[in-house]
């Protein structure tokens, strides 16, 4: 059966696949190596059981919460995903408008095809974080931090799981390139704007893998997080922690938050699903910093489960790209509203009304 009108996020994926070019679909959809972790991110949620409570007066459900002190409409937001104009002509601007209208937080990628200043036009006070890749040339990172602070972003999410790019086989086969009419819009220097070889050059690998090997600093270490804190007026969140040991180091380095993430299964294949790694990180930080999660969120009950396990909020990656491909801004709104409706219904049926009563949501 061909689905044309989606009723859940799972329906949107084949619709997006039909719309997108092979180069874009494979870049968005794929994970590293055998994609074991990519699949586990979703499957691990399906193994967790909810413990419902009945007769709890669920006539008023409240999903509002706060992240790093900013009030937000929901405990979910948009994860940073690069190059959104491959999915839709308005790319990150469409995503930002959808998020602003529903008061959902959004993290903009360093590798956006809209500059961080342009993305911020006309979307009011809604909560935006900037995702930072630290380049070998530290002046680049420093300048991005200053610009993000000046443009009103509320936090920096520093990605710590990408010293080199994971081996994404589809991108290697396709010799992935950013289409020539698009640019990584946060950079003025030509060598940092293009991904993949120019029209007269040959290319053997994924253009992004080559780009990362040339530009991103693989020597980044915990002491650099301390350095970043000294140059950043914004709170620093590390994105890509999966273990208690690293969570403790993050707290020692003075971060304000941790995103438990395996980059949507795109970096090291074989690591835990994020929802499985969440509990050890929560236990290790012991309430000292806020803990977030991304990876495999495809329905409201996934959000419910992550919150029940102690995440302050979650972020959603690929479904936003499917929404963008489907109908641009309206498509992203559709994804966000679907997650919101499903989360509210899940809370209602589980007998949980809102923030502040997170205990014993799940059976083990």
Indicate whether 82 belongs to the interface with ligand FMN (CB under 6 A): yes
How far apart, in whole angstroms, are the C-alpha atoms of residue 9 and residue 360?
Answer: 27
CA-nearest of 232, 58, 73 to 158 is: 232
Q: Verify whether residue 263 is a known catalytic residue.
A: yes
**Chosen residue from 28, 176, 322, 326 binding ligand FMN by CB under 6 A:** 28
Tell whether 91 is in a known binding site.
Answer: no
Neighbours of 319 (CB within 10 A): 25
Find the residue with minimal CB distance to ligand FMN. Answer: 317
Indicate whether 300 belongs to the interface with ligand FMN (CB under 6 A): no
**Chosen residue from 97, 318, 333, 352 binding ligand FMN by CB under 6 A:** 318
Least separation, in Å, of the C-beta of 134 and ligand FMN? 11
Q: What angle do CA 73, 54, 345 make, to 5 degrees?
A: 30
Q: Which string of x and - marks every residue 96-115 that binds ligand FMN (by CB under 6 A)?
A: -------------x-x----
Residue 296 or residue 344: which is nearer to ligand FMN going by CB? 296
CA-nearest of 164, 130, 145, 166 to 233 is: 145
Indicate whether 323 belongs to the interface with ligand FMN (CB under 6 A): no
Could you write out the DSSP letters of every residue in 196-208? Answer: S--TTS---S-HH
Contact 216, 267 (CB under 8 A): no
Residues between 39 and 58 with contacts to ligand FMN, criterion CB under 6 A: 41
Burial category of 179 from C-beta neighbours within 10 Å (exposed 0-12, middle 13-18, buried 19 and up): middle
Tell whether 297 is in a known binding site.
Answer: yes
Indicate whether 183 belongs to the interface with ligand FMN (CB under 6 A): no
Among residues 154, 192, 263, 344, the one annotated as catalytic is: 263
Residue 285 or residue 297: which is nearer to ligand FMN going by CB? 297
How far apart, in whole angstroms, are the C-alpha atoms of residue 296 and residue 133?
Answer: 22
Backbone angles phi, psi at 124, to 5 degrees: 60, -145
CA-nearest of 244, 171, 240, 165 to 204 is: 171
DSSP class of residue 289 equals S
Indicate whether 313 belongs to the interface with ligand FMN (CB under 6 A): no
Burial category of 108 from C-beta neighbours within 10 Å (exposed 0-12, middle 13-18, buried 19 and up): buried
Indicate whether 85 belongs to the interface with ligand FMN (CB under 6 A): no
Residue 65 or residue 84: which is nearer to ligand FMN going by CB? 84
Indicate whether 257 belongs to the interface with ligand FMN (CB under 6 A): no
Indicate whether 80 belongs to the interface with ligand FMN (CB under 6 A): yes
Which residue numbers belong to the known binding site for glyoxylate?
27, 133, 168, 263, 266
Active-site residue set: 263
Which residue numbers belong to the known binding site for FMN?
80-82, 109, 131, 159, 239, 261, 294-298, 317-318
């Amino acid at each position: 059966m061909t689905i044309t009108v989606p009723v859940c996020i799972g329906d949107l994926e084949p619709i997006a696949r039909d719309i997108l070019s092979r180069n874009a679909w494979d870049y968005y959809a794929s994970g590293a190596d055998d994609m074991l972790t990519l699949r586990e991110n979703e499957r691990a949620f399906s193994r967790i059981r909810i413990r419902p409570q009945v007769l709890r007066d669920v006539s008023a459900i409240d999903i509002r919460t706060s992240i790093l002190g900013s009030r937000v409409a929901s405990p979910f937001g948009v994860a940073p995903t690069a190059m959104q104009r491959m999915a839709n002509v308005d790319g990150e601007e469409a995503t930002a408008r959808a998020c602003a209208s529903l008061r959902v937080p959004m993290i903009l990628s360093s590798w956006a095809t809209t500059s961080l200043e342009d993305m911020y036009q006309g979307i009011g006070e809604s909560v935006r974080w900037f995702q930072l890749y630290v380049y070998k040339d530290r002046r680049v990172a420093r300048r991005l931090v200053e610009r993000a602070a000046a443009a009103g972003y509320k936090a920096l999410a520093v990605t710590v799981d990408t010293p080199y790019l994971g081996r994404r086989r589809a991108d290697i086969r396709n010799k992935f390139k950013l289409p020539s009419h698009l640019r990584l819009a946060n950079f003025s220097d030509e060598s940092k704007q293009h991904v993949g070889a120019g029209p007269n050059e040959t290319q053997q690998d994924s253009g992004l893998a080559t780009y990362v090997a040339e530009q991103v600093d693989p020597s980044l270490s915990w002491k650099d997080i301390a350095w970043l804190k000294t140059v950043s007026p914004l709170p620093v969140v590390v994105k890509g922690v999966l273990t208690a040991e690293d969570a403790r180091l993050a707290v020692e380095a003075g971060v304000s938050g941790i995103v438990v993430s395996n980059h949507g299964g795109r970096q090291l294949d074989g690591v835990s699903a994020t929802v499985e790694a969440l509990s050890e990180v929560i236990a290790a930080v012991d309430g000292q910093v806020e803990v977030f999660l991304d990876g495999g969120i495809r329905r409201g009950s996934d959000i419910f489960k992550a919150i029940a396990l102690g995440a302050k909020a979650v972020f959603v990656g690929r479904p936003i790209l499917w929404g963008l491909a489907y109908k641009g801004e309206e498509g992203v709104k559709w994804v966000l509203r679907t997650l919101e409706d499903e989360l509210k219904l899940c809370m209602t049926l589980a007998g949980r009304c809102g923030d502040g009563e997170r205990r014993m949501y799940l059976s083990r």
